[in-house]
Chains A and B, each alone.
Chain A
């Protein structure tokens, strides 16, 4: 008998718990909430998937090199000079170490 009472009490508590979930619209809030999160992030995913193609079209009309803050174009000669300077620096430091 006492076992039945315990079970009945437990069942009442369990019903109360689920009753609170139901009365407070827990399931519907959760479903709507998850749906909205998925809708927002799905939309962002779709737009980001299309973004590279949009940027490619934009680059044809307005190339990045024409931007006000576009990086300065260096000529091939400038880069070659920089490489030669770097090689010279490394050689110099290596020779200095050998002398020491």
Chain B
């Protein structure tokens, strides 16, 4: 037996320093998830996927996500073909209560305003030399929605899916760090102290009509958003109809958990060092941070602009919740508001633009896919 051949077929023999760096990143993600409780449901599978994906490939063995016939390639199929993100949206729809949005519909516009982060980042990416498709996929990071970012990246720039997904999920976990300074910079103390009227009671019929109306409007104007918005609305209808509780329960528990594991893990395995550790990835991370900052600023500034025309003022902090990292950005609004006035409860008000932002970012993704493809 040729021992040198055995040695050549080990992972250690084929390991490059970049693989080690990526494995360290994977370990850091896992540590952040377990020790700091930063988005553990995502960072643990992604972190472990990074470690798995950076075991060096062996010639003539189908092991990696891109090797035809490998197990990882079958799991990655759900990412590559955009199957997993709509299933996640089904679960999100089944667990989301849109009552606060229904009780104060004008807050939906704050969710729209925050999507400026997507389009300004797109321009920034073009400025840095990316192509139109790549810039569209990078811009969607500003939507602060992991499944949407993965969905669009798989369609427009699959070669950058790894860094885009990692950037999107990392910055979503860092929302409590990124948003507060921007929110405080753009608002005065008096504005932060604004108290909003308690949301009204919403009837069951309104909650049932909402997903149907929303889907029809979105799909007829932006058909690219059909599958994401369709699954979100289906999940919500399963929840609100009152007659499909078993299905809603499955969608928001077992189904979303299964898909989250497979999605996170397979995205992690796609971050092989030779494709991930590049200057382009660094630019994507930089643009990602910019996109979150711009989205936050966009929502807050729009809320201030709306207040010029409203008798019942909106607390401008609520605009920051248009960044659709549900429910973290709504929690950040609550936290920043309570720093000024501990008895000012903004969480439920912030949930309205927060969930509207999910719809807005899915529509933006649909628009980008239709316009750029």
Contact = CB atoms under 8 A, between A and B. Distances in A.
Nearest to A28: B371
Interface in A48-75: 48-49, 51-52, 54-55, 58-59, 64, 69
Contacts of A47: 213, 217
A16 B62 CA distance: 42
Nearest to B368: A33
Contact of B213 (A36, A38, A51, A59): A51
B56 interface: no
A41 B122 contact: no
Contacts of B371: 29, 32-33
A72 B128 CA distance: 63
B132 A48 contact: no
A77 interface: no
Contact of A26 (B101, B126, B359): B126
Contacts of A29: 119, 122, 132, 136, 368, 371-372
Chain A residues touching B, majority SS = helix
A85 interface: no
B184 interface: no
B296 interface: no
Nearest to A20: B126
Contacts of A42: 109, 112
Contacts of A21: 123, 126-127
Interface on chain B toward A: helix, strand, loop, or mixed SS?
Answer: helix
A69 B208 CA distance: 14
Contacts of B206: 51-52, 55
A40 B122 CA distance: 20
B135 interface: yes
Contacts of B122: 26, 29-30, 33
Contact of B367 (A37, A44, A69): A37
B221 A43 contact: yes
B115 A37 contact: yes
A40 B222 contact: yes
B136 to A, nearest CB: 8
Contact of B102 (A32, A51, A58, A69): A51
Interface string B341-364: 000000000000000100110011
B129 interface: yes
B105 A48 contact: yes
A51 B209 CA distance: 8
A34 interface: yes
Contact of B112 (A31, A41, A58): A41
A7 interface: no
Interface string B41-56: 0000000000000000
Contacts of B126: 17, 20-21, 24, 26
A40 B119 contact: no
A44 B213 contact: yes
A82 interface: no
B118 to A, nearest CB: 7
Question: Closest 4 CB pairs between A and B?
Answer: A30-B119, A48-B105, A41-B112, A17-B127
5 contacts: A26-B122, A30-B119, A44-B105, A48-B108, A55-B209
Interface of A: 16-18, 20-21, 24-27, 29-34, 36-49, 51-52, 54-55, 58-59, 64, 69
Given A29-B132, A37-B360, A52-B203, 8 more contacts: A21-B126, A26-B122, A29-B122, A34-B116, A40-B221, A42-B109, A44-B217, A64-B204
